[in-house]
Amino acid sequence: MDLEAYRHSAESFLSVLTLEYYGHYAGLKDGFEIEPIYERHAELFTASAVDELQAIEDRAQPDSEERRRLTMLLDFAVEGYLGQATKRVEAELAVREAELMLELDGDSVGFRESDVIQANEADAERRAQIERARLEAIETQLNGLYAELIGTHHELARQLGFTSYRELCARCKRIDLGDLQEQTSAFTRRTGPRYPEVVDQPLRAALGFGLEALRRSDIGRFMRAPELDSAFPAAQLIPSFEQTLRGLGIDIHAQPGVALDLESRPKKSPRAFCAPVRVPGEVYLVLAPTGGHDDYCGLFHEGGHTEHYASVDRNLPFEFRMLGDNSVTEAFAFLFMHLVEDPEWLARHLGVADPEPVAAHGRAVRLIYLRRYAAKLAYELELHNADGSLAEFAPRYGAIMSAALEIDWPVQSYLADVDPGFYCACYLRAWALETHLRHHLRSRYGEAWFERREAGDELRALWREGQRLTPEELLAGLSAERLRFEVLVDDLAL
C-alpha cells in the first residue's frame, strides 16, 4: 500500500463528504449525494485496505508518531468500510427526514422544523401532540432504515473478525468502554438522591411544573429556557461571542476560511453543527436560531469546535488535523458553551445582575444531559453486543432512559437515538476533560480567564495540536490529575 497516496485520497474524501453534509443539513440543498462520493473513493474502503492498514499498524514501532497516525487511519478505514456498505440507506434516511411532513391540526410542518416549533411551544399539550406526531413518523417512516443501518454495522463487524460492533468500536477508538460505563454508572448512582432537588426548581421556572409531571416532549422547551430570554437578547448573540473571542486575543473575522451560517431555513437541521471541510482552511459554523438561551448554547458550543479546527497547525499530518479522538474537540466546545452559565461571564458580557437562575438552570441541564448520556452508553453497550433482532431492544431502551431521568421515556426512538461509533462515549469523556480544563484555566488566570490573552495563547497552543493527543495526554500536560468522570460530581456540588 502507498500510504502517502492513501492519506491524500482520504483527506480529499473527508473534505468533499463534509461539504456535502454541510450543504444538506444547512438546508441549502435537498439531496444528500454521498453515494457518488463513496464511489469515487471506493479504493479507500475495501476489506483488503482495512487488512493492509491493520498489518502495517501492527508492524509500526509502539508509541511512535507513525503508530499513532496509523491507529487513526485504521479507524478511518473501518468507519469508511461500514459507510461504504450503508451509503444508500444513510442517504435515504437524510432525504426522507428532510422531506417528511407532520400533520398537526390541519397544518403541515417539516419533521426537522418540528423540533424548533416544539421548543418554542408554550402549551404542554401541544408539545405532547407534536411529540406523538414525531414518534409516529419515526416508527413508521424511519425505524426500518435505522434497523437496516445498525444491522449492517453489526454484520460487517463480525465479517471483519470482531465478536460484535461493540468490540470493533472499542478496538478502533482505543476506548475502554467497560471502564467508562463503570465510571458513568457510579455517577448516576451517586447523583440519584440529589437529582430531583437539582432539577425541580429550574423545571418549575421554565415550565410551571416539576419533575413529577415532566414528559420527554417538555425537555426541548426546558432547554430553550424561555424564562431566561431577557438575559440572552438576540441582539447580543453575535457581539457577545465576538467580544469573548477578542478577550482571548482572537478576531474571528480575520480568521481565513471561517464562515458563520446563522440564517433560518425550512429544511435546516435544528441541531447546530460545525462542518470542518478543510482543516484549518474552510470551517462552517451552522445554527438554526430558535431564540434566547438555547441559541447562545448552540453558538458557543459550535464556536468552540470552530476555533479548534480553524487554529490547527496546517503543517500537521492529515490524521492529526482531521482524525483522532473527538472527545478532544468536544471538550473545547463544552468549554465555550459553559461560559453561557458562568456568573462572571454573564455579568461582564450580558450585564446579568442576578446570575443565580441562569446558573441553576445550567446545572440542571448538565445533570440531565450527563445522566441521559450515561444511560445511552449503558443501552448502546447492550444494543451493540447483540446478535439478532433489534426490535427486542425497544422496551430495554425505554426502561434504561426512564430510570435515569425519572420520567416515562417513549420507546419509539430506540434506534434513532443511537449515534454511530459510540459517539456518546466522546461526549462523556469530553465533559470530564472540559471540567479539568476549565478548573486549570480558572486557577491559572482567574475567574475571568476568558478575558486574558494569555489564556487564549494557551488554548491556541492546544488547538494547534489538532487531535494528535488523546484526552488523557492532553490533561497530563496540564496537571497531575487523571481523567476521571467523578470530577463532575464535585463540579456540580453534589
pLDDT in tens, 38-62: 999 999 999 999 999 999 999 999 9
How many helical (H) and strand (E) elements, i.e. helices and strands, does the chain have?
22, 5
Dihedral (Cα; 84, 376, 391, 142), 10-degree rounding: -60
Please state the rounded mean pLDDT for residues 448-471.
98
Among candidate residues 461, 205, 479, 487, the one with its CA nearest the CA of residue 358: 205
pLDDT in the model for residue 268: 87
272: pLDDT confidence band, cut at 50, 70 and 90? confident
- The fold adopted by the segment(s) 180-491 is Neurolysin; domain 3 (1.10.1370)
Binned at pLDDT 50, 70 and 90, residue 106 comes out as confident
Strand, helix or coil at 466?
coil
- pLDDT bin (cut points 50, 70, 90) of residue 269 is confident
CA distance 387 to 101: 34
| Residue 291 pLDDT | 64
Residue 154 and residue 165: Cα distance in Å, rounded?
A: 5
Query: Helix 165-173 vs helix 177-191: angle between axes, to the nearest 10 degrees?
Result: 100
In angstroms, rounded to a whole number, what is the distance separating the alpha carbons of residues 414 and 254? 44
C-alpha 385/C-alpha 432 separation (Å) is: 26
Query: Of 295 and 314, which is predicted with more confidence?
Result: 314
Confidence label for 265 from pLDDT (cuts 50, 70 and 90): confident
Lookup: cell for 350: 450580558
Q: How large is the average pLDDT for residues 453-458?
A: 98
Percent of the residues in the chain that have a pLDDT greater than 70, as a whole number = 100
Going by DSSP bridges, is the β-strand pair 258-261/107-110 parallel, antiparallel, or unpaired? unpaired
More confident residue, 417 or 387: 417
Contact predicate 486/439, CB 8 Å = no
Cell for 443? 486557577
| Axis-axis angle for helices 65-99, 111-120 (nearest 10) | 90
Among 178, 221, 225, 216, CA closest to 357: 225
Cβ atoms of 430 and 331 closer than 8 Å: yes
Give the pLDDT confidence of 221-243 residue by residue, as tens digits: 999 898 998 999 989 999 999 99
With 80 as the cut, is the pLDDT of residue 290 above it? Answer: no
Query: What's the mean per-residue pLDDT of the chain?
Result: 95
The residues spanned by each domain of the chain are 180-491
Q: What percent of the chain has pLDDT over 90?
A: 88
Tens digits of residue pLDDT in 300-316: 999 999 999 999 999 99
- Per DSSP, the three-state class of 61 is coil
Greatest CA separation for the chain: 65
pLDDT band for 433, please (50, 70, 90 cuts).
very high
160-171 confidence digits (pLDDT tens): 999 999 999 999
230 vs 434: which has the higher pLDDT: 434
Confidence band for 266, pLDDT divided at 50, 70 and 90: confident
Whether the per-residue pLDDT at 402 is higher than 70: the answer is yes
380-384 own/partner pairs: CB under 8 Å, 24+ apart: 380/418, 380/422, 380/424, 381/166, 381/177, 381/178, 381/181, 383/150, 383/418, 384/154, 384/164, 384/165, 384/166, 384/169, 384/422
pLDDT of residue 85: 95
Q: Which has more pLDDT, 15 or 225?
A: 15
pLDDT (average), residues 401-419: 98
Task: Look at residue 115 and tell me whether its pLDDT is greater than 70.
Answer: yes
